Amino acid sequence: MDNFQNLNNNNIPSHIAIIMDGNGRWAVERGKKRFFGHLEGVRVIKKIVESSIKIKIKYLTLFAFSKENWKRPKKEVNLLMKLIISTIKKNQNHFLKNKIKINIIGSVSDLPKDSQEAIDQMVEVTKNNKVLTLTLALSYSARDEIVDAINNIIEMKKNGNIEPITDKILSNHLQTANLPDPELLIRTSGEKRISNFLLWQIAFSELYFSEKKWPDFDEEELYMAIFEYQKRERRFGKTTAQINNETI
Ligand code: FPP
């Protein structure tokens, strides 16, 4: 099936979030070191960014390194950090040429100082780009993000703010305050977990679990996920008749 032809261009999600899983297993299955899977993973990221631009997705959010990933062997953590930062640096021209805005969520202060500087620089030089916002979750934990938001709101209260806390106020204190909630969340490698990613933001997202490990994920599978999304009826608690504006 040529999935691209089958997509409804009027119903492309504006924001897709991806949990890129299975790099390590993909490499080990091939008798290679786990790191080889991460290298292949970067190649796939580039392809998926290009495909996203092609079909006019406006926001792509990738879970690149979780807070929990610091518990991995030191050598893998160090190599992953180096890979992430060198990939960001190497692609500056690509980001500028394709008008990609780099955005970061997570506890960036956990990263080595030189990595933080490279990230800050990339965020600064791409800040006016409007074609695609590419958000990288680095040292990210959704629970920490929510706890931080609550603590910031408590500070606001101490300073005399008496507004009741609402859904919107909490959303505005998350690191994703400037992003719409993702309509679609994809996880690769057959695992069916959320693993502390965007817990608040995916309240109404459609979930797509791909059997492909991240290094095997491709444009065709991205379109398959969107095709699946387009077949679903997003009711947000309403009935089908209400969604279709039918009188009952
Ligand atoms: C999950 O596979 C993947 C990761 C923890 C890292 C993903 C990071 C990259 C592909 C590099 C990102 C680079 C940029 C520039 C964002 P896994 O290692 O958990 O695989 P496994 O479940 O098979 O062990």
22 lines ligand 1 (CB under 6 A): yes
* Distance between CA atoms of residues 115 and 126, nearest Å: 17
- Banded model confidence at residue 248, pLDDT cuts 50, 70, 90: low
- The answer as to whether 168 is a domain residue is no
62 lines ligand 1 (CB under 6 A): yes
In the reported structure, the alpha carbon of residue 74 is separated from the centroid of ligand 1 by a whole-number distance in angstroms of: 15
In the prediction, which pLDDT does 147 show? 98
Tally of domains within the chain: 1
- The answer as to whether 58 is a domain residue is yes
Mutate to test the pocket of ligand 1, among 38, 196, 210 (most ligand atoms within 8 A of CB): 38
pLDDT over 80 at 47, yes or no: yes
Looking at 69, 98, 129, 172, which residue is catalytic?
69
- The answer as to whether 161 is a domain residue is no
118 lines ligand 1 (CB under 6 A): no
For residue 221, CA distances in Å to 1, 119, 188, 193, 216 come to: 11, 30, 10, 19, 9
In the prediction, which pLDDT does 234 show? 74
- Banded model confidence at residue 123, pLDDT cuts 50, 70, 90: very high
- Mean of pLDDT over the chain: 95
- The answer as to whether 75 is a domain residue is yes
Average pLDDT value for residue range 114-122: 95
For the chain, the residue count is: 248
pLDDT over 90 at 2, yes or no: no
Q: Is 21 a catalytic residue?
A: yes
CATH of the domain at 29: 3.40.1180.10
In the prediction, which pLDDT does 99 show? 98
pLDDT over 70 at 3, yes or no: no
- The answer as to whether 159 is a domain residue is no
Q: What is the pTM of this model?
A: 0.94
The residue type of 208 is: Y
Q: pLDDT for 175-222, tens place per residue?
A: 999 999 999 999 999 999 999 999 999 999 999 999 999 999 999 999
- The answer as to whether 207 is a domain residue is yes
Q: pLDDT for 21-40, tens place per residue?
A: 999 999 999 999 999 999 99
- The answer as to whether 84 is a domain residue is yes
In the prediction, which pLDDT does 233 show? 77
In the prediction, which pLDDT does 237 show? 86
**Residue with more model confidence, 94 or 246:** 94
Structural domain span for residue 115? 10-141+181-232
pLDDT over 60 at 171, yes or no: yes
Among residues 21, 65, 6, 37, which one has the least CA distance to residue 226?
Answer: 6
In the reported structure, the alpha carbon of residue 221 is separated from the centroid of ligand 1 by a whole-number distance in angstroms of: 18
- The answer as to whether 175 is a domain residue is no
In the prediction, which pLDDT does 164 show? 92
Atom of ligand 1 nearest to the CA of 88: 15
Atom of ligand 1 nearest to the CA of 213: 23
Among residues 8, 20, 6, 74, which one has the least CA distance to residue 189?
Answer: 20
In the prediction, which pLDDT does 236 show? 81
In the prediction, which pLDDT does 238 show? 85
pLDDT over 90 at 65, yes or no: yes
CB atoms near residue 214 (< 10 Å):
26
